[in-house]
Structure 1
Amino acid sequence: MTLNLRTIGIWILRLLAAAIMLQTLYFKFTAHPQSVKLFTELGLEPYGRIGIGIMELIASILILYPKTTGIGAVLGIGLMSGAIFFHLTVLGIVFDGDAILFTYAVIVFACCAALAFIYLKDILKLLPFKLKKE
């Protein structure tokens, strides 16, 4: 196996997205006060906090496993779309004194979007129907 720039770039995207999502799990699963405050403001405490944490764990594992990277990336896009939406509508970009959570969500979204584009053919194979070529 030879490592080329494409392979290295894909692994950087995978590791960055997964590392950020996995790092935030500690705060979700230990009921860190900032995490509890955030999900309380959204009206999703505690089930939303734990449920989203589980989904982020699943997305991270799928992203890191090369055969399922596309699926994990799509799941990551969905999760981060929700995070970005709530930051822009309910929580604010600056939450609890800093904008780090919003920044993390944007970084993960961008990494997952790039991975989904790279793995688009694999993702489309999972559709239960064929797309017509015009």
Structure 2
Amino acid sequence: MMIWLSRIVRFGLPLFVSAIFLDSLRYKFTDAPETQEIFGRLDGWAASFGAAGLFDHSGLFSQYMIGSAELIASAMLLIGFVPALRRFQVAGSALGLAIMTGAISFHLFTPLGIDPNADGGGLFVAACLVWLSCVILLAIKRQDLLALGCGVFRAFIPTNR
């Protein structure tokens, strides 16, 4: 039973996260009114402390930049199903965790709130579920995460032998 459940989690969570990310791209990349409302409200908030344009169409945290990061995370999660490329799934989970940590933080600590589009908080709940899924994936694949971290560390800080 546990092996069966483990397989469902190992395959289901990356598919769930990818599905949520890929579904959101139709809003972000088509400049949908819901996306304009969210990023417009965030840009207004950023402008209040002198960072106008941060969330604008050409800003550092624009809908296109966030959508591109979600697309990359989805690709990594799906590529990670190939056994030889399983570390991509860890990298995709880490990127997804970073994206969703930002999203949840902006929902909670800015005027955006948890229900910016009057959808009953569905967008916020999805962000929380994706965040939790990424945490679980990283916990399950902690050995791959450690190996990836060591590889990145060696790339930036070479050892002399």
TM over 0.5: yes
- Tell me how far 1:8 sits from its aligned partner: 2.0
Is the counterpart of residue 95 in structure 1 residue 116 in structure 2? yes
Is the contact between residue 36 and residue 45 of structure 1 (CA under 8 Å) also seen in structure 2? Answer: no
RMSD over aligned CA atoms reads 1.4
In the alignment, which of 75, 79, 89 is matched to residue 65 of structure 1? Answer: 79
Distance in 2 (alpha carbons) for counterparts of 1:94 and 1:5: 33
- Tell me how far 1:96 sits from its aligned partner: 1.9
| Larger mean Cα displacement after TM superposition, 6-15 or 54-63 | 6-15
Distance in 1 (alpha carbons) for counterparts of 2:63 and 2:25: 10
Structure 1 unmatched runs, 5+: 130-134
Q: How many percent identity over aligned positions?
A: 36
Corresponding position of 1:46: 57
In the alignment, which of 106, 122, 126 is matched to residue 148 of structure 2? Answer: 126
Corresponding position of 1:30: 30
TM-score calculated relative to the size of structure 1: 0.89
Report the count of equivalent residues.
127
Structure of larger gyration radius? 2
Structure 1 segments (4+ residues) deviating >2 Å? none
Corresponding position of 2:18: 18
Structure 2 unmatched runs, 5+: 44-54, 81-85, 155-161
Distance in 2 (alpha carbons) for counterparts of 1:38 and 1:81: 16
TM-score calculated relative to the size of structure 2: 0.75
Distance in 2 (alpha carbons) for counterparts of 1:34 and 1:45: 14
Distance in 2 (alpha carbons) for counterparts of 1:73 and 1:51: 18
Is the contact between residue 59 and residue 72 of structure 1 (CA under 8 Å) also seen in structure 2? Answer: yes
